[in-house]
Amino acid sequence: MERIGAALIDIDGVLTVSFKPLPGTVEAMESLRAAGLPLALVTNNTSRTRATIAAKLASAGYPVTAGDILTAPAVTAAYLREHHPGARCLFLNSGDVQDDLDGVTLVPEADDTAPDVVVFGGAGDEFTYACLNRAFRELQRGIPLIAMHRNLYWRTSGGLDLDTGAFLLGLEQAARVEATVTGKPAEAFFATALAHLGVTAAEALMVGDDIESDVLAAQRCGITGVLVKTGKYLPETHVSAPGTPDHVLDSFADLPALLERAGR
């Protein structure tokens, strides 16, 4: 902790729930800013663009801009441009993030011609049987499957909602394929965030409410992991997890005190 020079921070369930600030989190981020700690907000949110997320957070009082935010769609777009340039993508996602998909060609919903890649974003009402079945049939041709994340669920103001991972697991088994994941917990996602901040893994910490995709995944990359007991946190997933977080806090609001105790 004495070496911490930057913080990676999840958004959903850590700072906000359904974009409503959790108690004390705005003040905590203001404290980190005042201390001069470089921050990157790293999120698997696939329903909003970086600009939209930044605007909603700023309107709630968080001192952030679009430049502080790294999303799974933006990282996925970079991956597709590098590994599948010019590919026509069948994109299954809830929400409009097209502005963050520069250089990516999306197959229109009414276009029944064969795509080159199947891309999964975040789950929602768009995940109908017809759409999932079309993806299944396309994958049987042997084309790649890219997933922005494989989260099983996420926290909303109404409770926990199913997310992409719940559907992805079945599709992988049915089509006998394995998705390439580009968002958290992919190592490349954390590497991109570290490069964005200009720090090494040993100099950074990751704050998240998902013990596996946020915290343990970051720790496997050499980043200090901080689990918060908000958002999707459940005691049973904490106990049964295949690893132990470096630190556990009741809330992101407690992070400045943790850093102060460590002498940051």
pLDDT, tens digit (0-9, with 9 covering 90-100), for 175-184: 999 999 999 9
- pLDDT class of 29 with cuts at 50, 70, 90: very high
What is the per-residue pLDDT for 2? 58
% of the chain exceeding 70 in pLDDT: 98
User: How many other CB atoms sit within 10 Å of the CB of residue 241?
Assistant: 14
% of the chain exceeding 90 in pLDDT: 91
- pLDDT class of 156 with cuts at 50, 70, 90: confident
Please state the pTM of the whole predicted model: 0.86
Mean pLDDT of 59-75: 96
Residues in Cβ contact with 108 at an 8 Å cutoff, skipping those fewer than 6 apart: none
Residues 209-220: tens digit of each pLDDT: 999 999 999 999
* CB of 8 closer than 8 Å to CB of 193: yes
Residues in Cβ contact with 264 at an 8 Å cutoff, skipping those fewer than 6 apart: 1, 2, 4, 35, 37
* CB of 75 closer than 8 Å to CB of 188: yes
* CB of 29 closer than 8 Å to CB of 69: no
Which of these, 54, 184, 257, lies nearest to 247 by C-alpha position?
257
Q: How many Å apart are CA 155 and CA 231, to the nearest integer?
A: 5
* CB of 166 closer than 8 Å to CB of 132: no
* CB of 181 closer than 8 Å to CB of 149: yes
What is the per-residue pLDDT for 264? 59
Mean pLDDT of 36-46: 95
* CB of 21 closer than 8 Å to CB of 15: yes
Residue 204, both tokens: 């950074």
Q: How many Å apart are CA 206 and CA 196, to the nearest integer?
A: 14
Mean pLDDT of 140-153: 95
What is the per-residue pLDDT for 1? 53
- pLDDT class of 109 with cuts at 50, 70, 90: confident
> Beta partners for 130?
none
Mean pLDDT of the chain, nearest integer: 94
Q: How far is CA 176 from CA 137, 144, 171, in A?
A: 12, 12, 8
Tokens 């997310």 — which residue? Answer: 163
- pLDDT class of 263 with cuts at 50, 70, 90: low
Which of these, 215, 224, 220, lies nearest to 258 by C-alpha position?
224
Residue 107, both tokens: 């197959």
- Is the model's pLDDT at 191 over the cut of 70? yes
Mean pLDDT of 95-107: 93
What is the per-residue pLDDT for 247? 97
Does a cis peptide bond (omega within 30 degrees of 0) precede residue 256? Answer: no
